[in-house]
Amino acid sequence: MIAKTIGAASVLPLLAACATSQAAPAGLEAQLDELLSWFPGTYENHQQVYGEAIADLPASERHRHRHHTFQPVSIAGIPGRQIYAQQYQHYDPQDLYRQRVYSFTINRDEQAIQLTIYTPNDPDQLTDMHLDPAQQAALSVDDFFLKPGCEVYWQKTGDQFEGYLKDGACSYYSERFETEIFLNETLIMRRDALLLDDSAVDGDGNLIFGAAGNGPSINLKYDACD
């Protein structure tokens, strides 16, 4: 049991060192402004992956390497305020496993900030578009589709935002894995890190991806303490 926690334990003190306690702003509009001031940046879980390798954990108990880029974009027809997500794995920038546009709006029924995921029809059209306004201008909402039920809801708790999917709501056919998958996900956004605990199972409950039961992927933000 001690060995399983070494990777996370070696990183968490770094999170505490960067964390800044602030009173929660009044109102969801102010919270949306705050969340979107934190979100953009580059994140990676290298320290966690390295710690688990040094601890010689079994492969089934390790987290895969992840690298995340989140940057503001503007795509015609997509509502709300937008962030482009470009994510690769296994230390290979060519191994892109997720390219999405996230739309942030306020959901007063949930008393939360709603993140709606716009999935591209052709992911190659999005690659590195945060660096090229002309590439963004060539796209519209018609170049994306939605997966109903996969919205993420964010609420401010103390000095962090907590995100969640509704239980059992997010399922879809995955072209990548060639099966229907059911997604479970909880997230914590801090000024210095994104903690992501996600996994997917097939209809028989077999794990498709994620490190189920091994805790979140701890993705530290570059230059978070600057």
The three state secondary structure string of 26-65 is CCHHHHHHHHHHHCCEEEECHHHHHHHHHCCCCHHHCCCC
pLDDT of residue 59: 87
pLDDT of residue 119: 96
pLDDT of residue 21: 39
pLDDT of residue 211: 63
Model pTM score: 0.84
Contacts of 148 (CB under 8 A, 6+ apart): none
- Rounded distance, CA 217 to CA 29, Å? 29
- Rounded distance, CA 60 to CA 116, Å? 31
Q: Which CATH architecture does the domain made up of 3-221 adopt? A: Beta Barrel (2.40)
Q: What is the pLDDT along the chain (226 residues), one digit of tens a residue?
A: 333 333 444 455 445 445 443 444 459 999 999 999 999 999 999 999 999 999 999 988 899 999 999 999 999 999 999 999 999 999 999 999 999 999 999 999 999 999 999 999 999 999 999 999 999 999 999 999 999 999 999 999 999 999 999 988 999 888 888 889 888 889 999 999 999 998 888 888 888 877 667 889 999 998 754 4
- Rounded distance, CA 47 to CA 52, Å? 9
pLDDT of residue 1: 36
Angle of CA points 168, 184, 59, to nearest 5°: 145
What residue ranges in the chain does DSSP mark as E strands?
41-44, 66-73, 81-89, 92-107, 112-120, 144-146, 152-157, 160-164, 171-174, 179-189, 193-201, 207-210, 217-221
